Amino acid sequence: MCATCGCGETEPVIHPHDHAPDHAHPHQHDHAHDTRRISLEQDILAKNAGFAASNRRLFVEQGVLALNLVSSPGSGKTALLSRTVQILRDEFPVAVIGGDQQTANDAERIIAAGAPAVQINTGKGCHLDAHGIGHALERLALPKGGVLFIENVGNLVCPADFDLGEAAKVVILSVTEGEDKPLKYPNMFAAAKLMLLNKTDLLPHVEFDVDRCLDYARRVNRELDILQLSARTGEGMEPWLEWLRRGRHDALIQQINQLEADLAAARSRLIHGGGAIRRTVI
Amino acid sequence: MHEFSLCEGIIDAITAQTCQQGFSRVRRVWLEIGALANVELDALRFAFEVVREDTIAASAELDIITLPGRAWCLNCAQTIAVGELYDPCPLCGGYQWRLTGGNEMRIKELEVE
């Protein structure tokens, strides 16, 4: 059993009902098959939401801006991240969790770019989940006061539903893909806070209507921030880096607010919870 | 195919109730799924049949209640029906609306014995 969350190694553990029946409901029924209805009203993703909340608490405690990067395969996520961490690693701590079905190639590219990285191989899984992120953090030191990039599995469908505890989803679309992807995969574009239109250096060579693409994206999510860049040439990188610096600044503010709230709560307990008595004992 | 993950979530949630609620078999599961939720219902039904095997819900029937897409249009200041996340408001033709219902993924109720 793992220490982080009490999970079994790989299979879900169904606990046998062998403890003393000390709770109120009767275990022996008068007739064998009485049926009844139980109202649950529970979100299907409640378990993932619980793990995501733990991750989010940890990120706030450590002043970490955590971002969930999502896209189709081949949109240039790893190239973008390599270039990004090369620049930012001199300003504040950065680290990367990469998700792919197989291989550690992406993590190796990030490490070569100078940032700590771990790879999660999802095997047949099509998305990262909050539980897997918790375990990845056992192998990767949190970039305290910096930015944690979580590079999700290349897939615009499934990762939309799985909160990892991130501050924001960043969806990356490249101009070599269809401009109508925001309409084809609306859940993802609706869930994202920022869209990066990548590989803009290739615009002269492809038929891609930027204005139409941005219009589609804003139909699905009118609050979406949109930046255009080329990770290859570096054009447009600066607004993205500024977006990250602002986000990191906000994460630090959030950490300070949390620390101040904790401090106020501790002081309040000292005053109202018998602090004076303890002092006389000492 | 994250429908498999969703079904594992459903089975986990049901299993967590067995001890607390004291039942030994699940006969029926009612889900509420929003019309705009990121779920393919046929895939969900298929995944449920696979994931339920060897669990307390091994013979459970799945009933899916679809909830309609609803939104609040800022221009019209009223509730509108939406079929897709990129639909314009049926009244003003704009996109200045905020989803208020239709992306639910909930386990509503169980029938147990």
Quote the pLDDT of residue A9.
Answer: 42
Confidence band, pLDDT 50/70/90 cuts, at residue A280 = low
B9 interfacial to chain A (CB closer than 8 Å): yes
Confidence band, pLDDT 50/70/90 cuts, at residue A275 = low
Residue range A165-183: mean pLDDT, rounded: 97
Give the model confidence (pLDDT) of A71-123 as tens digits: 999 999 999 999 999 999 999 999 999 988 888 888 889 999 899 999 998 87
Q: How close A6 gets to chain B, by Cα (Å)?
A: 14
Quote the pLDDT of residue A276.
Answer: 55
Where exactly are the structural domains of chain A?
A: 47-249
**Chain B residues inside the 8 Å CB shell of A169:** none
Which segments of chain B have a pLDDT < 70?
1
Quote the pLDDT of residue A182.
Answer: 96
Strand partners, B66: B33
Give the model confidence (pLDDT) of B34-57 as tens digits: 999 999 999 999 999 999 999 999
Q: Are strands B97-101 and A225-228 parallel, antiparallel or unpaired?
A: unpaired
Quote the pLDDT of residue A68.
Answer: 97
Residue range A143-171: mean pLDDT, rounded: 95
Give the model confidence (pLDDT) of A201-255 as tens digits: 999 999 999 999 999 999 999 999 999 999 999 999 999 999 999 999 999 999 9
Domains of chain B: 3-68+102-112 (3.30.2320.50)
B75 interfacial to chain A (CB closer than 8 Å): no
Of A17, A160, A162, Cβ closest to residue B19: A17
Q: How close B86 gets to chain A, by Cα (Å)?
A: 5
- The size of the A-B interface in CB pairs under 8 A is 112
Quote the pLDDT of residue B19.
Answer: 84
CATH of domain A47-249: 3.40.50.300
